[in-house]
Amino acid sequence: MSPSQTRNTAGVEKSKEVRRDILTGLGQSTLAQWMVILGLIFGGCCSNAWALELVTSQNPRAGTLLTFAQFLLVTLVALPKQLHVRSPRCTRQELLHHVATAIISARQARKSKGVLRVAIDGVDGVSNMGFADELAAYLCTLPSTPSTIRASVDGFHNPPELRYRRGRDSPEGFYRDSYNYEALEQFLLDPLSPGGTRRYALRVYDVDASAPVPLPADSLTASENDILIFDGIFLHRPELREYWDLCVFLNVPLGAFVQQRARRSPQTDPDSEDDRRYVDAQKLYLDEAQPAQHASILVDYTSLSIPILQRSPFPFPPHNSLLSRAFRIRMKQPAVPLSRWLVKVALFFLISLLNNAAFGYAIPMAVHIIFRSGGLCANMLVGWLAGGKKYSRSQVGAVLLITAGIASATLASKKPASPAVNAISSTGQFAGGIMLLTIALLLSGALGLVQEWTYSKYGYEHWEESLFYLHFLSLPMFAFTAGDLQAQVRLANASTPISLIRASPFPTLQVPGFYVPFAINLVTQVVCVAGVNRLTARVSSLTVTLVLSVRKAVSLVLSVVVIGGGSGNLGLWGGAAAVLGGTVLYTLDTAGKGRSAKESGKAKQG
């Protein structure tokens, strides 16, 4: 196949990928949902640009005030996602009482008679056997409580030749081969299940004697109202889950689990082959069985004396009042360490401040839109200089096209064709504004590189956390601009007042005219962000980039033609077309390379 044919084929495949991605998104969302998403993006973002132009036309120096208000609003909107109600702490006795009450409630809620099967699960070494013993004893003290059957997974060990068939140091062997689950089901769980014989055995193997236990000696018969309290590890394995009517999981973070093992056995070394067998087996179980998600009652058992009830289908009366819950509101533990946010916060704060400050130099909105579309140029330059990245010729060509477009639009805007577009007071003032936008553009490239490093280590699913901390941690920095903020507020308050309700005779309903477009800008920014985030959740980054490129083109048309009342000029429209075309070409080339890498990887595996 010739090179030209190869390029044509690649172009067709990229177009198909975009269409396929959009169709997939359409298939996963209703037409109404898509209308809402696109309405939020085009309506919200374009209205945001329009309101921003009105704000800066009334007060070109309002950049700091606008940035502060935007950061404060986004912080308040994103805050609820970062809050949670801390699970109630309780004494060990309160926890025993709660679990016992839950068992009695589950017993009474059952319409049919039969043994109630309760599992006390936990990671190795958290003393779930001791908790099960205390629970069974506590149940016996309650009035009108059916008799309990105490059993443990320790009565169903495999013989050594099966336990260690994968090796004595194998974590997988400890997880999969330690216990005889077929015997557990056959001699205990199945007989005590609905419709079972209720004739059961408490154990089939004596691990201390390394010998099987004769079944007749331990064969017992349960009554139809008995309660089975069964303790052990790995009880949320998929093949066992369906047996439990109620399951408790005593949860301990792996770090605390290692510490508890060390306290119980001072010679514990998590890096030794023997101890790694147990630690890695717990990791395997937690990843495969997800016991914390499937447990009926989840308990943080890091502290044996002061456990934390993390989840329960039954209310916990001492700590369930609205006032109690209000006092337990806490910030979530961030997935990304706060130290990682400091550089990003400083860059993000400076970028926002510089972009808004550029309006004070009478930079037209059209130039703002086109400059912000040049983010690929900054990303490539910073990635090449600081990140050691390499780019293809087509990517470099696309970025050069974007650069030429920005230069063309900037020079064309120096002498606006319409008096509705803000006039440039002097070449020096214009150059100062362009310098601010250029610095902001380069800083945005550095921010993109820092974000890439952060997300590559901590994952890409923490965008809500990023949204909150980038804005929240930036707020203290406005202390350095307190003088500017006060001056801009005084200037805003001095703007011509307007009546919110014109027919009203009350003068108190009048507000300074500056705050109307100011408020519209703040609200539409939240709307725009909501639309972009919804789009990101449904389609690939390729489609997101293309949709946002079209949105910027629409904003440019509205700014120059609708709001400005002019028709622009060849340099402006040619520059805008070059920026839009370069962005699309760069995105398509990047998507094609990503797909080719995946295909070559599959070919090597095949």
The more confident residue out of 223 and 58 is 223
Q: Say what the pLDDT of residue 226 is.
A: 93
pLDDT of 251 > 80? The answer is: yes
Rounded to whole angstroms, the Cα distance separating 427 from 143 reads 91
Domains of the chain plus CATH, in order, are 29-84+337-482+514-597 (no CATH), 92-327 (3.40.50.300)
Lowest-confidence range among 242-251, 282-291, 311-320, 469-478? 311-320
Q: Say what the pLDDT of residue 372 is.
A: 62
CA 364 to chain centre: 37
pLDDT of 73 > 50? The answer is: yes
Q: Is 373 helix (H, G, I), strand (E, B) or coil?
A: coil
Q: Say what the pLDDT of residue 600 is.
A: 46
Q: Which residue is it, tokens 């056959």? A: 186
Average pLDDT, the chain: 75
Rounded to whole angstroms, the Cα distance separating 152 from 129 reads 8
- Averaged over 501-505, what is the pLDDT? 58
Question: For residue 552, what is the enclosing H or E element?
Answer: helix 541-557
Lowest-confidence range among 49-53, 408-412, 418-422? 418-422
Tell me the pLDDT tens digit for each residue of 141-176.
988 778 999 999 999 999 999 999 999 889 999 999
Tell me the pLDDT tens digit for each residue of 256-275.
555 555 555 555 554 555 57
CA 302 to chain centre: 26
User: What spatial distance separates the first Cα and last Cα of the chain, rounded to whole Å?
Assistant: 23
pLDDT of 216 > 70? The answer is: no
Residue 148's closest CA among 50, 227, 59? 227
Rounded to whole angstroms, the Cα distance separating 235 from 126 reads 14
Instruction: For residue 6, name the pLDDT band (cuts at 50, 70, 90).
Output: very low
Q: Is 581 helix (H, G, I), strand (E, B) or coil?
A: helix
- Do the beta carbons of residue 438 and residue 372 sit within 8 Å? no
Angle among Cα 447, 453, 457 to the nearest 5 degrees reads 140
Q: Say what the pLDDT of residue 353 is.
A: 81
Q: What percent of the chain has pLDDT over 70?
A: 62
Q: Say what the pLDDT of residue 538 is.
A: 61
- Averaged over 407-432, what is the pLDDT? 57
pLDDT of 201 > 90? The answer is: yes
For residue 306, CA distances in Å to 87, 194, 261, 313, 449 come to 12, 36, 19, 20, 44
CA 296 to chain centre: 25
- Averaged over 406-427, what is the pLDDT? 52
Global confidence as pTM: 0.52
The more confident residue out of 556 and 277 is 277
Q: Say what the pLDDT of residue 601 is.
A: 45
Which DSSP state fits 186? I
Rounded to whole angstroms, the Cα distance separating 299 from 309 reads 5
- Averaged over 491-500, what is the pLDDT? 83
Lowest-confidence range among 210-224, 276-290, 309-323, 533-547? 533-547
pLDDT of 243 > 90? The answer is: yes
Q: Say what the pLDDT of residue 261 is.
A: 55
Q: Say what the pLDDT of residue 155 is.
A: 94
The more confident residue out of 524 and 539 is 524
- Averaged over 112-120, what is the pLDDT? 90
